[in-house]
Amino acid sequence: MRIAIAGKGGTGKTTIAGTLSRELARRGRQVLAVDADTNPNLAVTLGVSGPRAQDILGLPRNLMTRQTQSDGSTKVVFTADPEEVLREYGVTGPDGVRLVIMGKVGHGGAG
Ligand SMILES: Nc1ncnc2c1ncn2[C@@H]1O[C@H](COP(=O)(O)OP(=O)(O)OP(=O)(O)O)[C@@H](O)[C@H]1O
Ligand SMILES: [Mg+2]
């Protein structure tokens, strides 16, 4: 099951995403949360402590690439093993929700 939460600024997206993730994880689901906000703060809602949340590395942009197939069509493929990516870039909150962050602006001018 994939759930995407998007909408206007300040309408509770992060709160709903975090609460839903934690509740599903507590009920035994495997949950991977992806924070795609350029100013990510889902980690804190998931219960990841402030300093640990600050240190989460954003996913690099080269994890997927387009491959041209023999029939000329293109296919998007992973450049690394997804489980390994999760081990390297993911953090786990107190309810077992795994989180990765994409779209994080690393430094001024990088956005
Ligand atoms: N159901 C609710 N009732 C009252 N306050 C709420 C509710 N849901 C969220 N809030 C509060 O509203 C504010 C905005 O919530 P949140 O950060 O989840 O929104 P957002 O859509 O993710 O915002 P942004 O667009 O800035 O990322 C927060 O202070 C949050 O605590
Ligand atoms: Mg938000």
The pLDDT score that the predictor gives to residue 106 is 61
Residue 57 has a CB neighbour count (10 Å cut-off) of 13
Question: How confident is the model over 62-83, as pLDDT tens digits?
Answer: 888 999 999 999 999 989 999 9
Full-model pTM: 0.86
Closest to 20 in 3D by CA, of 4, 9, 38 = 4
d(CA 13, CA 101): 15
Describe the chain by its helix, strand, coil percentages, rounded to 5: 30, 20, 55
- Determine if ligand 1 sits within 6 Å of the CB of residue 44: no
Taking 70 as the pLDDT cut, the residues of the chain under it are: 105-111
The pLDDT score that the predictor gives to residue 110 is 58
The pLDDT score that the predictor gives to residue 39 is 87
Residue of 15, 37, 41, 44 best suited for mutating to test ligand 1, as the one with most atoms within 8 Å of CB: 15
The pLDDT score that the predictor gives to residue 103 is 73
